[in-house]
Amino acid sequence: MKNLLDLFKLPIGILQSLYYLKKISPNIIFSKGGYVSVPVIIAGKILHIKIIIHDSDSIPGLTTKICAKYADTICLAYEEAKKHLSKNRRIVRTGIPLKKDNIDGESVKAYEITKFNKKTPVLLILGGSLGAKAINDVVYSSLPELVKHFQIIHLTGSGKNEEINLSSDLKKRYFTLEFTNQIADFYQITNFAISRAGANTIAELQTFGIPFLLIPLPKQASHGDQLENAKILEKEKKCLVLAQETLNPQTLQKKLDELVKNKQQFQYKEKIHINAAKTILDLITN
């Protein structure tokens, strides 16, 4: 029923977009997606306005597939995504534009905050913007064993931080926050990472060449984009993947052992994301 209502709303959205686009008279429309962008893109095409769109995932979403038909240039994060779009379109792999605050960090600050030493490897655990209870619960259960091998920075998500019983010596190896604005500093001292499979976080980890284990959101909790991102990277042997359905202390430890053992294979640096914003800006201005 909702999809039918959206179909009826589309013509109204196009008419509204035509009105505002004529009023604003932009030279270019740049879109990062979302269903609300569809009428704007269609109206822009009717008015012969240059259109550039960007998709961050390994398989373009429905909105991107629709808007791609009207776009002059399609910017993609993954080479794999090209297979799902018409070959007749102008497609440029630009990578994902990253926030400067998330990549310009200082290791000195990270060591000051965590009080970690520089000898023991650092494991960064990320649960996404809202945290991940499934990951947190298994990490909490595994901590006594994990801190024997790693110093851990654990970003739990808002309201998901718990008090853990560890000896005073082991507590020195476990630093937890609900969220942080200093992720760039933490990246500077990170040797390994556990993360959800959101496109932006993957791009940041790849930029630093950090070997990582992905635990993507299950399909019932997402649109399936994280599963596809993880699947593509695992196929390309750029990371390890552990399904949430099979996540437990034993499977987590097994995957981490494999990550550490084969760290050189997974120390894959993807430089394209560093220049993504400039590449897209050049496409817009030229």
| Listed residue (84, 52, 193, 90) closest to 203, CA to CA | 193
Same fold, 2-93 and 101-272: yes
Q: Is the pLDDT of residue 130 over 60?
A: no
Classify domain 101-272 at the CATH superfamily level: Glycogen Phosphorylase B; (3.40.50.2000)
Q: Where are the domains of the chain?
A: 2-93, 101-272
Average pLDDT, the chain: 90
Q: Is the pLDDT of residue 286 over 90?
A: no
| pLDDT for the residue 169 | 75
What's the DSSP call for residue 181? S
149-171 burial: b if 16+ Cβ within 10 Å, else e: bbbbbbbbbeebbeebeeeeebe
φ, ψ of residue 176 in degrees (nearest 5): -125, 140
Alpha carbon 93 to chain centroid, angstroms: 16
| pLDDT for the residue 17 | 97
Q: Are residues 247 and 276 in contact, defined by beta-carbon separation less than 8 angstroms? A: no
The CB-side HSE value for 99 (13 A sphere, CA atoms) comes to 9
| pLDDT for the residue 2 | 47
| pLDDT for the residue 106 | 96
pTM of the shown model: 0.89
Of 261 and 168, which is predicted with more confidence? 261
Of 15 and 164, which is predicted with more confidence? 15
For residue 270, what pLDDT band results from cuts at 50, 70 and 90?
A: confident
Q: Is the pLDDT of residue 248 over 90?
A: yes
Question: At residue 192, what is the residue type?
Answer: F
CATH number given to 2-93? 3.40.50.2000
| pLDDT for the residue 268 | 80
Model pLDDT for residues 108-118, shown as the tens digit of each residue = 999 999 999 99
Q: Are residues 11 and 38 in contact, defined by beta-carbon separation less than 8 angstroms? A: no
For residue 127, what pLDDT band results from cuts at 50, 70 and 90?
A: confident
| pLDDT for the residue 61 | 87
Mean pLDDT of 203-228: 90
| pLDDT for the residue 161 | 64
Model pLDDT for residues 8-65, shown as the tens digit of each residue = 788 999 999 999 999 999 999 999 988 899 999 999 999 999 999 999 998 898 899 9
Q: How many CB atoms lie within 10 A of CB 239?
A: 25
| Listed residue (210, 200, 223, 215) closest to 260, CA to CA | 210
Alpha carbon 189 to chain centroid, angstroms: 20
| pLDDT for the residue 115 | 95
Q: Name the burial class of residue 222, with classes exposed (0-12), middle (13-18) and buried (19+) by CB atoms within 10 angstroms of its CB.
A: middle
250 Cβ neighbours under 8 A, 6+ residues apart: none
For residue 4, what pLDDT band results from cuts at 50, 70 and 90?
A: very low
